[in-house]
Amino acid sequence: MSDIKTTRVLLTMAARTATVASAKFIDRAQQFCRLYVNVTVASGTGGLTVQLRGYDPVSLEPGNTPAGAFLNGGGTAITATGVYVIELLMTAGSIVGGVHDSVARMLPCTWDVNVGVGDASSYTYSISCEVFPG
């Protein structure tokens, strides 16, 4: 089991107008995740909804059923510039400061990040993360 905190770049800084997903990651030992969403240009309309998705080990399909079986709710849509934090921890933390969403969930073995958009306006952003053991 790895006892080292690991950092990754999930989506590099770029202007985007459509829904996009990061690459899939496999973390067998890491249990928790902290995402950093860095928005440098925001239209102020539509907004971004950032969600962590777990994948079913049999079908390899993401948990995005019509009922919304994402690992986090995505919080309210991000419509302004800034750095936003989304956490999957042992216990949900307070939504204060730069913390945009915090839920009590463990990181699944196979996961990715899906960024939904509210309309076709342009947002420039990057997403990075820290994953760490329990």
Model pLDDT for residues 66-104, shown as the tens digit of each residue: 333 456 665 678 999 999 988 887 776 666 566 777 777
Burial class from Cβ neighbours inside 10 Å (0-12, 13-18, 19+) for residue 109 reads middle
pLDDT reading at 106 higher than 80: yes
CB 28 within 8 A of CB 2: no
Residue type, 121: S
- Amino acid 9: pLDDT: 97
Pairwise pLDDT comparison (99 vs 28), residue with the higher score: 28
SS3 (DSSP) at 18: coil
User: What's the CATH code, domain 6-132?
Assistant: 2.60.120.380
